[in-house]
Chains A and B, each alone.
Chain A
Amino acid sequence: MAKIERDDIYVISRHSDLRKSEIHALLQQHVYTNAASWKKFLRIFFMALGVGFLVAGIIMFFAYNWDSLGKFSKIGLIEILIVITVSLVLLTKLKQDIKNICLTGASVLVGVLFAVFGQIYQTGANAYDFFLGWTISITLWVFVAGFGPLWLIYLLLINTTVVLYSEQVAGNWSTAFVYTLIFAINLFALVIFVLLSESRRLLKMPSWFVKTLALATVACTTIGITAGIFGGPDPAFYVLILLTIISYGAGILYSLKKKRAFFLSIIPFSLVIIISDLLLNLGSDASMFFITFLFVIISVTLIIRNLISLQKKWAVE
Chain B
Amino acid sequence: MNKINIIIHTLYLLKSSANRTPAIDEEKILSEYQEANTGKSGIAIKALSVFGGIAASLFFLAFLFLAGLYESETGMLIFGLIFIAASIIVNSRFDNIIVDTASISFYLIGFFLLGVGLGSIHVNENMICLIFVAVALLTLIIIQNYIFSFISLLIINGSLFALIIFSFSNNMIHLLLTMQVIAIVYLFLHESAFISASPKISKLYQPIRTGMVLSFLCGLVLIARKDLFSTGSYYLLATSIVIIIALLYVAFHLLVVLNVTKPNDKILVYGIATLMFIPTIMAPAISGCLLVILLSFFVRHRGGFILGIGALIYFICQYYYDLEYSLLQKSYFLIGSGILFVLIYLVTIKKLVTNAKT
Complex contact B22–A60 (CB within 8 A): no
Nearest residue (CB) in A for B37 is A308
Contact at B22–A265, with CB atoms within 8 Å?
no
Whether A18 is near chain B, meaning CB under 8 Å from some CB there, is yes
The minimal Cβ–Cβ distance linking B86 to chain A, given in whole angstroms, is: 14
A21 at the interface (CB under 8 A from B): yes
Q: A215: shortest Cβ distance to chain B, in Å?
A: 11
For residue B10, which residue of chain A has the nearest CB? A4
Question: Is B66 an interface residue, CB under 8 A from the partner?
Answer: yes
Q: A19-B196, A312-B36 known; A57 and B335 CB under 8 Å?
A: yes
**C-beta contact mask, B1-41 vs A, less than 8 Å → 1, else 0?**
11111110011001000000011111011001110110111
Say if the beta carbon of B258 comes within 8 Å of chain A: yes
Q: How far, in whole Å, are A226 and B249 apart by their CA atoms in the complex?
A: 50
A-B contact pairs, 30 of them (CB 8 A): A13-B196, A13-B202, A15-B26, A15-B28, A16-B14, A16-B29, A20-B196, A24-B191, A32-B298, A38-B254, A43-B345, A47-B341, A49-B337, A52-B338, A53-B341, A54-B339, A61-B331, A64-B326, A262-B44, A289-B62, A297-B105, A300-B53, A304-B48, A305-B37, A305-B98, A307-B45, A308-B41, A309-B36, A316-B2, A316-B34
A65 to chain B, nearest CB (A): 8
Q: Are B348 and A43 in contact (CB under 8 A)?
A: yes
How does the 8 Å CB contact mask read for B93-104 relative to A, with 1 for contact and 0 for none? Answer: 000011111100
Whether the pair A16, B66 counts as a contact (CB closer than 8 A) is no
Q: B352 on the interface (CB 8 Å rule)?
A: yes
Residue of B nearest to A211 (CB): B44
Interface check B166, CB cutoff 8 A: no
Check: A39 CB closer than 8 A to any chain B CB.
yes
Kindly state whether residue B158 has any CB partner on chain A within 8 Å: no
Instruction: List, in ascending order, chain B residues with CB within 8 A of A2's CB.
Output: 1-3, 5-6
| B298: min CB distance to chain A, Å | 6
With known contacts A64-B327, A286-B67, A304–B97 Cβ distance under 8 A: yes
Interface centre among B99, B337, B356, by most chain A C-beta atoms within 10 angstroms, is: B337
Contact A53 B338 (CB under 8 A): yes
* Contact in complex: A300, B56 (CB < 8 Å): yes
Chain B residues near A307: list those with CB within 8 A. 44-45, 48
A169 located at the interface, meaning its Cβ lies under 8 Å from any Cβ of chain B in the complex: no
Contacts of A43 in B (CB 8 A): 345, 348-349, 352
Chain A residues within 8 Å of chain B by Cβ, number: 83
Interface residues of A in 63-86 (CB under 8 A from B): 63-64, 66
Which residue on A lies nearest to B105, using beta carbons? A297
Please judge, given known A-B contacts A4-B6, A13-B202, A53-B335, whether A290 and B60 are in contact too, CB under 8 Å.
Answer: yes
Is B234's CB within 8 Å of the partner chain A? no
Contacts of B258 in A (CB 8 A): 35, 38-39
Residues from chain B with a CB closer than 8 A to the CB of A276 are 55, 59
* B interface residues with partner A (beta carbon < 8 Å): 1-7, 10-11, 14, 22-26, 28-29, 32-34, 36-37, 39-42, 44-45, 47-49, 51-53, 55-56, 59-60, 62-63, 66-67, 97-102, 105, 191-193, 195-196, 199, 202, 254, 257-259, 297-300, 320, 326-328, 330-342, 344-345, 348-349, 352, 356
Q: Which residue of A lies closest to B3 (CB)?
A: A2
Q: 3 closest A-B pairs (Cβ-Cβ)?
A: A57-B334, A54-B338, A300-B52
Q: Is A143 positioned at the interface, with any CB of B under 8 Å from its CB?
A: no
Give Cα A66–Cα B326 distance, bound, in whole angstroms.
Answer: 11
Partner of A308, one of B25, B32, B39: B39
Contact partners of A300 in chain B: CB under 8 A:
48-49, 52-53, 56, 101
Q: Does A22 contact B (CB under 8 A)?
A: yes
Does A178 interact with chain B (Cβ within 8 Å)?
no
Q: Are A1 and B1 interface neighbours, CB within 8 A? A: yes
Instruction: Verify A315–B3 contact, CB threshold 8 A.
Output: yes
Q: Nearest-CB distance from A68 to chain B (Å)?
A: 11
CB-based contact B328/A17 at 8 Å: no
Q: Does A121 contact B (CB under 8 A)?
A: no
The reply to whether the CB of A159 lies closer than 8 angstroms to some CB of chain B is no
For A269, give the chain B residue with the smallest CB separation. B48
- B298 pairs with A42, CB closer than 8 A: no
User: Other CB < 8 Å A-B pairs besides A12-B11, A22-B22, A265-B47, 5 of them?
Assistant: A18-B24, A53-B338, A265-B44, A289-B66, A308-B97
Per the 8 Å Cβ criterion, residues 253-293 of A in contact with B are 261-262, 265-266, 269, 272-273, 276, 285-287, 289-290, 292-293
A239 within 8 A of B: no
A29 to B: closest C-beta gap in Å:
10
Report the Cα distance A311→B33, complex, angstroms.
Answer: 11
Name A14's contact: one of B202, B331, B336 (CB within 8 Å): B202
Does A27 count as interface, using CB distance less than 8 angstroms?
A: yes
**A135–B64 CA distance with the chains assembled, in angstroms:** 50
Contacts of B344 in A (CB 8 A): 46, 50
The chain B residue sitting closest to A55, CB to CB, is B338
Tell whether A188 is near chain B: CB-to-CB under 8 Å.
no
Q: How far is the CA of A292 from the CA of B62 in the complex (A)?
A: 10
Q: Which residues of B contact A196 (CB under 8 A)?
A: none
What chain A residues lie within 8 Å of B33 (beta carbons)?
11, 315
A283 to chain B, nearest CB (A): 11
Specify which chain B residues have a CB less than 8 angstroms from the CB of A59 in the assembled complex.
331
Q: Bound state CA distance, A42 and B300, in angstroms?
A: 15
A58–B193 CB distance below 8 A: no
Partner of B44, one of A1, A9, A46, A261: A261
Closest residue to B60 on the A side, CB-wise? A293
Given A15-B24, A304-B97, A316-B2, A33 and B300 contact (CB-CB distance below 8 Å): yes
**Residues of B contacting A64 with CB < 8 Å?**
326-328, 331
Q: Flag if B298 contacts A54 (CB, 8 Å).
A: no
Give min CB distance, A251 to chain B, whole Å.
14
